[in-house]
A and B are shown apart, each in its own frame.
Chain A
Amino acid sequence: QKEVEQNSGPLSVPEGAIASLNCTYSDRGSQSFFWYRQYSGKSPELIMFIYSNGDKEDGRFTAQLNKASQYVSLLIRDSQPSDSATYLCAVNPGGYNKLIFGAGTRLAVHP
């Protein structure tokens, strides 16, 4: 079982819709959770992090964390074609100073 799992996609949504990206993790002791956006051929860019159960909002982005169910999600409201990218979920396992990355979900927003 992979430590951090994401659906590879592609997830296709129309412009203006809400895109929902999900991630599950195996280490119950994980402490902090990150969402990175990666455009094709470019480096990952940190867009959100969350460490407490519940929701965290930043502009059009909302990260949701449920530690009991071991999942973290990213909602993108009013999706734009410029949001088309691969979204990487990363988890900081408890007691370790490093991140474990999922393989990413490719999002395609079509006009």
Chain B
Amino acid sequence: DADVTQTPRNRITKTGKRIMLECSQTKGHDRMYWYRQDPGLGLRLIYYSFDVKDINKGEISDGYSVSRQAQAKFSLSLESAIPNQTALYFCATGATSGAYNEQFFGPGTRLTVL
């Protein structure tokens, strides 16, 4: 079974719709991250969380919100989707005990906003 899972894997939605992307992990890691990836721009950090009560904005948080429901679950919401939010979204996890801040990625969600 995959250590980090994301649902849905693909989603097509319309401008203005609210959408939630979900991430679950069985790695026992306390840190969780949401990234988006666009061609030529690499991975950009949206939000990150170091435990259930800790939420931090990344470099591109505008238009997004997150919820850390449990140590193993971290959801990303687009309150009112717009076409330039079309991208590949990745959830990642990491352990505080990890000495070098390595991160492990889920399979990704391909989101298209029409």
Contact = CB atoms under 8 A, between A and B. Distances in A.
Interface of A: 8, 31-32, 34, 36, 42-46, 49, 51, 88, 90, 92, 97-99, 101-104
Counting chain B residues whose Cβ lies within 8 A of the other chain, the interface size class is 20 to 34
Contacts of A103: 40-42
Classify the interface of chain A: helix, strand, loop or mixed.
Answer: loop
7 contacts: A36-B105, A43-B106, A44-B90, A44-B105, A92-B101, A99-B103, A102-B42
Nearest to A32: B100
B38 to A, nearest CB: 10
Contacts of A102: 42
Contact of B102 (A8, A46, A88): A46
Contacts of A98: 33, 45, 48, 58, 101
